[in-house]
Amino acid sequence: MHDKIGGYLENVTTAVIAGHTRPDGDCAGSTLALYNYLRDNYPQVHVDLYLEPVAEVYKVIKNADQIISDYDRDETYDVFFALDSSDKERLAGAVKYFDTAKRTVCIDHHISNEGYADENIVFPKASSTCEVLATLMDMDTVDVDVAEALYIGIICDTGCFKHSNTSEQTMNITGKLISKGIRFSKLTDEVFYQKTYMQNQLLGRCLLESFLVFSGKCIVSVADRKVMDFYEAQSSDLEGVIDQMRITKGVEVAVLLTEIGDRKYKVSMRSNEFVDVAKIAGIYGGGGHIRAAGCTMSGTKYDVINNLTMFIEEQLIQND
Ligand SMILES: [Mn+2]
């Protein structure tokens, strides 16, 4: 294993970079950071970047328009870099280039990654693939565009340095990125916090119609079809609503129902300290983490709320 990316580029004339299906911020950030870094520092290497189309917000990253999203070409490459992808199947259409590449290198931070490439640089303690990638770069030759791509990946996977995966190394690397002159305030707002006017209206509506149960320990809201249709919203427009509910003072559990069909609801749950929401989601065939889980339930919204709150109350009482 080489300690720097340059070690994998000896005698290489063609390289390919790919990330996982439905790319998130860390995936878009890390693949584009490596793409730009190789173009800046290894001009003798021809680099292609394959990735499914990225969300509009990530197009602020330099060369996002160079991403190739169809997998029609029959090329073989000297080296394949797989980024932020915990298994080979998640590379989706790019698997064919992985299978034919002379050498494969995986750079990742998922604990479930079992090492499917020839070389696997996997650090489960790192906040993000961008953090791992930064340690493989020579910081002196990282320019502002590469730094911005890395920064975006780091804020996306750490929830803006809020999640427990944020470490001293995360902050040290971020400090170096800031020293490159990145537009961190603007990027943080645009990539992480910005909402459309409609999404803000929807957030307001959900908060306005929310109600508290169990002496304020549980907050519930419903985004029904009528409301979603009025705003021409999709369930992705509700992102962040449940987190705003969860941080209501005194609340332990937040529950958000989104009507996705006739008497059918998508249920999202969050908890703060002790309620295991994954256990409750599991009862209805869903899953997730202890503090963030979801499931799909049928019935009227009153049935759904009654059923869920029964299990929530059970856990609240246990902790009383
Ligand atoms: Mn990641």
Q: Residue 85 pLDDT > 90, yes or no?
A: yes
Q: How many A from CA of 209 to the centre of ligand 1?
A: 34
Strand, helix or coil at 84? Answer: coil
User: Position 79: which residue type?
Assistant: V
Q: How many A from CA of 131 to the centre of ligand 1?
A: 9
Q: Residue 288 pLDDT > 80, yes or no?
A: yes
Q: How many A from CA of 272 to the centre of ligand 1?
A: 23
- Report pTM: 0.86
Q: How many A from CA of 157 to the centre of ligand 1?
A: 6
Q: How many A from CA of 84 to the centre of ligand 1?
A: 5
Q: How many A from CA of 319 to the centre of ligand 1?
A: 34
pLDDT digits (tens, 9 = 90+) for 59-72: 999 999 999 999 99
Q: Please, which pLDDT band fits residue 235 given cuts at 50, 70 and 90?
A: confident
Give which of 11, 95, 12 is closest to 50, Cα–Cα.
Answer: 95
Q: Residue 1 pLDDT > 80, yes or no?
A: no
Q: How many A from CA of 178 to the centre of ligand 1?
A: 20
Q: How many A from CA of 121 to the centre of ligand 1?
A: 14
**Environment of ion ligand 1 (residues, CB < 5 A):** 26, 84, 128-129, 157
pLDDT value of residue 3: 87
pLDDT digits (tens, 9 = 90+) for 3-61: 899 999 999 999 999 999 999 999 999 999 999 999 999 999 999 999 999 999 999 99
d(C-alpha 149, C-alpha 25), whole Å = 9
Q: How many A from CA of 108 to the centre of ligand 1?
A: 7
Q: How many A from CA of 278 to the centre of ligand 1?
A: 22
Q: How many A from CA of 67 to the centre of ligand 1?
A: 19
Radius of gyration of the chain from its Cα atoms, rounded to whole angstroms: 22
DSSP 252: S
Strand partners, 220: 211, 255
Q: How many A from CA of 263 to the centre of ligand 1?
A: 35
Give which of 223, 170, 165 is closest to 199, Cα–Cα.
Answer: 223
Give which of 170, 168, 141 is closest to 26, Cα–Cα.
Answer: 170
Measured from the Cβ of residue 168, the count of other Cβ atoms closer than 10 Å reads 7
Q: How many A from CA of 27 to the centre of ligand 1?
A: 6
Q: How many A from CA of 126 to the centre of ligand 1?
A: 9
pLDDT value of residue 320: 78
Segment 155-171 shows an average pLDDT of 95
Measured from the Cβ of residue 204, the count of other Cβ atoms closer than 10 Å reads 12
Q: How many A from CA of 149 to the centre of ligand 1?
A: 13
Q: List strands edge to edge, sheet with 287-288.
A: 211-213, 218-223, 253-261, 264-271, 292-298, 287-288
Averaged pLDDT score across all residues of the chain = 96
Q: List strands edge to edge, sheet with 46-50.
A: 46-50, 14-18, 79-83, 103-108, 119-122
d(C-alpha 157, C-alpha 150), whole Å = 11
Q: How many A from CA of 253 to the centre of ligand 1?
A: 26
Give which of 69, 10, 1, 57 is closest to 29, Cα–Cα.
Answer: 57
